[in-house]
Amino acid sequence: MIWHPSPNFGPRRDGLTPQFVVLHYTAMEGAEAALERLCDPEAEVSAHYLIGRDGTCWQMVEEDQRAWHAGVGSWMGVEDINSRSIGIELDNRGSEPFGEPLMAALEGLLRGILARWDLPAEAVIGHSDMAPGRKCDPGPRFDWARLVRQGLAASAPDGDAVSDVEEALRAAGYTADASPEARLTAFRMRFAQASAGPVTEAERRILGGLAARSSATILRG
């Protein structure tokens, strides 16, 4: 881990602590360019961590502080995701696979974060999940299935097929202000990357399982 402090941070608001980990891609040509931008006071953006293609990991903001990575959005009915999350930038343009060194480094980083803050695998989300339509990272090439196998992201549970897809998407966590099409696209990038066109029966079952699991989590909380 390389400490490379960014001036772009502040205290978490209202005494909030991390509830989520938000994954991004940099959409830049290299980690060095991304690091420069994330530490540029004029850019007014940052993240807690940046992972390069070769697995190098930089920390720019302390985890107990509020980095400026998520922007406007909502997840599971709550807003100000910056105050509720830890942001991780991944050195990738979004149109290419995420290589082994980067993914291995991400897995190690996630294990530590989830343990330190006592967070479940379901806490790991994409930028597109909390800002569908506005953001699409980490994108359709990101290997969510690999994180699921490591217990580092939510699986796609098989539940009762839903009839109201929009209601189920909201119940599953997609509560940001966005069109139904944007919500569906964000869901598919996470849980049904090969899907297109009309919602399938399999997707309706996944949504039913996600909605039921989210409800149970809220009730436990």
Residues belonging to the active site: 89
| Cis peptide preceding 138, ω within 30 of 0 | yes
| 106 vs 153: CA distance, rounded Å | 12
| 49 vs 87: CA distance, rounded Å | 7
What distances in angstroms separate CA 105 from CA 28, 95, 125, 128, one per listed residue?
A: 19, 20, 17, 22
Asked if 110 contacts 123 with a C-beta cutoff of 8 angstroms, the reply is no
Residue 172 neighbours by CB distance under 10 Å: 26
**CA of residue 186 relative to chain centroid, distance:** 11
The residues with which 111 forms a beta bridge, in sequence order, are: none
Listed in order, strand segments (DSSP E) in the chain are: 2-3, 9-11, 20-25, 49-51, 57-59, 65-67, 85-90, 124-126
Listed in order, strand segments (DSSP E) in 1-142 are: 2-3, 9-11, 20-25, 49-51, 57-59, 65-67, 85-90, 124-126
Question: By C-alpha distance, which of 86, 81, 84, 161 is closest to 129?
Answer: 81
